[in-house]
């Protein structure tokens, strides 16, 4: 799985709207309820896949761009990308996001594991399955407690790292068919974890039916995903990219679960990724009651207009303001002879930079701690990615932190730069210079 600044990054089978890919998704139907999609939420033009980092040799080759438009279903209110990019192209064997890069995310995973072990009395007789297990950042906590686990992770680069830690990994995309194969082998899960994978699923119905099949009677599903209510509240348009097929509310997830024979019994609000939800699910005939937290958040979503069209129609102007403010800052900095670099070769950063049309003349380089990204180039903008130690030799006047969701971690880690005159910058939800 993937998390860090975006979340994450895996998916199940191909969308039922696959016939629309490449040719013209404007006539697509909702991926959940099949209602024709008439309302556009956001149009970011054309962009390359946000995690398709380039080598030096790639710079002289054609680069693939896809439309990046978001629709909203006025029946089930699922916010979703138009169908263009294929899953296999977005999540290749060289996929470069490693969850363990972020210290704060590792701490989040450790807290989650401890809570689940205690809450559900998991032991050596249990089975924990994580869908989109990435580099083992989460399951290693269960391995340390001798709790059997299985990772499902389609990208070879991250799966290999997990396997080196003694975590069994099935290198497949998850969906209904794979779940049935696992059950046939006698594997059903006491706990299914999916952190920042649900938004990356092209066929969300197939994926959810797979959860139903794989879950043992009395078992629990936990899914974490960015809350579309916070995206709307804080203008987090940079979390939109091709790898994110869905932008989810509790209302919509509740509907999808019900259609698959599951129910949401509890929900927690999390600070991760600018505001996420963790939903707890189980079989619909499970005796566990639906807790007040569920009804409270459903009521809050309704109050804020998430089941009305106006809030979605007004979003484009707010996204354009963020883009224009960033571009204006970069142009002014160049006119003043100031140097600007960035931290975090994150997918959200690629969305922002490509929409704003930022190139290396305005942003010298991007630092990133992930070794797999270093020496490569940002897709679209072709800004070079370097190791963070370059900040020791090339001290910029400004450092733009692209993964704003982990700004406190980055600001603390590189606080010495402030004594050398560097100012830290974030662009979302509004331009701030610290």
Q: Span 174-192, mean pLDDT? A: 97
Asked if the model's pLDDT at residue 386 lies above 90, the reply is: yes
Q: Per-residue pLDDT tens for 112-140?
A: 999 999 999 999 999 999 999 988 899 99
Local structure of residue 371 (DSSP, 8 states): T
Tokens linked to 1: 């799985």
Q: How far apart are CA 270 and CA 248, in angstroms?
A: 14
Q: pTM here?
A: 0.87
Give the position of tokens 């999540």.
Answer: 91
Residue 90's pLDDT is: 53
Q: How far apart are CA 228 and CA 247, in angstroms?
A: 5
First to last CA, the chain: 33
Of 218 and 9, more confident: 218
Asked if the model's pLDDT at residue 97 lies above 90, the reply is: no
Q: Span 268-277, mean pLDDT? A: 93
Q: Does domain 315-433 have CATH number 3.40.50.720?
A: yes
Give the position of tokens 């606080």.
Answer: 415
Q: How far apart are CA 327 and CA 372, in angstroms?
A: 28
Asked if the model's pLDDT at residue 325 lies above 70, the reply is: yes
Asked if the model's pLDDT at residue 357 lies above 80, the reply is: yes
Q: How far apart are CA 201 and CA 197, in angstroms?
A: 7
Indicate the pLDDT class of residue 261, thresholds 50, 70 and 90.
very high
Indicate the pLDDT class of residue 100, thresholds 50, 70 and 90.
low
Domain limits of the chain?
18-86, 99-300, 315-433
Q: Per-residue pLDDT tens for 1-57?
A: 343 333 333 333 333 333 333 334 457 899 999 999 999 999 999 999 988 899 999
Going by C-alpha positions, the residue among 303, 323, 243, 333 that lies closest to residue 7 is: 243
Measured CA angle at 372 (ends 366, 374), to 5 deg: 30
Tokens linked to 355: 């929409």
Q: Give exposure, 271-290, as e/b (b: 16+ Cβ within 10 Å).
A: ebbbbbbbbbbbbeebeeee
Q: Span 44-72, mean pLDDT? A: 93
C-alpha dihedral, 23 to 351 to 88 to 3, nearest 10°: -150
Strand blocks (E) in 158-214: 169-170, 189-195
Indicate the pLDDT class of residue 162, thresholds 50, 70 and 90.
confident
Residue 16's pLDDT is: 36
Residue 83's pLDDT is: 74
Residue 156's pLDDT is: 87
Indicate the pLDDT class of residue 430, thresholds 50, 70 and 90.
very high
**The domains spanning 99-300 and 315-433 adopt the same CATH topology:** yes
Within 8 A by CB and 6+ apart from 133, the residues are 1, 139, 151, 152, 153, 158, 159, 162, 167, 169
Give the position of tokens 């009521």.
Answer: 299
Indicate the pLDDT class of residue 372, thresholds 50, 70 and 90.
confident
Q: How far apart are CA 21 and CA 220, in angstroms?
A: 34
Strand blocks (E) in 48-136: 66-72, 79-81, 128-131
Residue 272's pLDDT is: 87
Residue 101's pLDDT is: 64
Tokens linked to 342: 């960035």
CATH for 99-300 (3.30.70.20, 3.30.70.1230, 1.10.760.10, 3.40.50.150) = 3.40.50.150
Q: pLDDT averaged over the chain? A: 90
Residue 98's pLDDT is: 64
Longest Cα–Cα distance in the chain: 66
Residue 105's pLDDT is: 81
Low-confidence winner among 89-93, 107-111, 141-145, 303-307 (lowest mean pLDDT): 89-93
Indicate the pLDDT class of residue 94, thresholds 50, 70 and 90.
low
Q: Span 412-419, mean pLDDT? A: 94
Q: How far apart are CA 226 and CA 224, in angstroms?
A: 7
Sheet containing 246-247: which strands, arranged edge to edge?
39-47, 66-72, 79-81, 246-247
């Amino acid at each position: 799985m993937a998390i860090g600044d975006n979340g994450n990054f895996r998916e199940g089978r191909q969308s039922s709207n696959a016939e629309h890919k490449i040719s013209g998704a404007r006539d697509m139907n909702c991926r959940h309820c099949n209602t024709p999609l008439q309302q556009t939420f956001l149009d970011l033009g054309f962009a390359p896949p946000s995690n398709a980092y380039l080598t030096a040799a790639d710079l002289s080759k054609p680069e693939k761009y896809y439309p990046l438009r978001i629709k909203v279903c006025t029946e089930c209110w699922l916010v979703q990308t138009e169908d263009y990019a294929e899953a296999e192209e977005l999540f290749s064997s060289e996929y470069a996001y490693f969850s363990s890069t972020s210290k704060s995310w590792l701490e989040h995973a450790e807290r989650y594991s401890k809570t689940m072990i205690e809450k559900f009395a998991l032991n050596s007789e249990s089975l924990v399955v994580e869908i989109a297990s990435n580099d083992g950042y989460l399951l290693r906590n269960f391995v340390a407690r001798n709790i059997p686990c299985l990772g499902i992770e389609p990208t070879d680069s991250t799966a290999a790292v997990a396997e080196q830690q003694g975590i069994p990994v099935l290198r497949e995309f998850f969906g209904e068919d794979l779940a049935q194969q696992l059950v046939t082998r006698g594997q059903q899960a006491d706990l299914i974890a999916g952190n920042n994978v649900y938004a990356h699923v092209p066929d969300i119905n197939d994926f959810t039916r797979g959860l139903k099949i794989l879950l043992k009677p009395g078992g629990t599903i936990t899914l974490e995903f960015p809350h579309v209510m916070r995206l709307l509240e804080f203008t987090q348009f940079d979390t939109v990219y091709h790898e994110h097929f869905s932008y989810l509310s509790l209302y919509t997830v509740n509907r999808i679960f019900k259609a698959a024979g599951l129910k949401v019994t509890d929900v927690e609000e999390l600070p991760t990724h600018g505001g996420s939800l963790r939903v707890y699910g189980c079989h619909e005939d499970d005796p566990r009651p639906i807790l007040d937290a569920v009804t409270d958040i459903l009521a809050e979503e309704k109050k804020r207009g998430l089941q009305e069209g106006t809030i979605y129609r007004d979003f484009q102007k707010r996204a354009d303001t963020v883009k224009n403010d960033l571009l204006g800052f970069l142009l002014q900095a160049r006119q003043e002879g100031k140097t600007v670099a960035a931290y975090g070769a994150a997918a959200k950063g690629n969305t922002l930079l490509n929409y704003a049309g930022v190139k290396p003349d305005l942003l010298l380089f991007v630092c990133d701690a992930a070794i797999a990204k270093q020496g490569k180039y940002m897709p679209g903008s072709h800004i070079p990615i370097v190791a963070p130690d370059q900040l020791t030799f090339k001290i910029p006047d400004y450092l733009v932190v692209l993964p704003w969701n982990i700004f406190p971690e980055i600001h603390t880690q590189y606080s010495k730069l402030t004594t050398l005159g560097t100012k830290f910058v974030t662009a979302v939800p509004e331009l701030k210079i610290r």
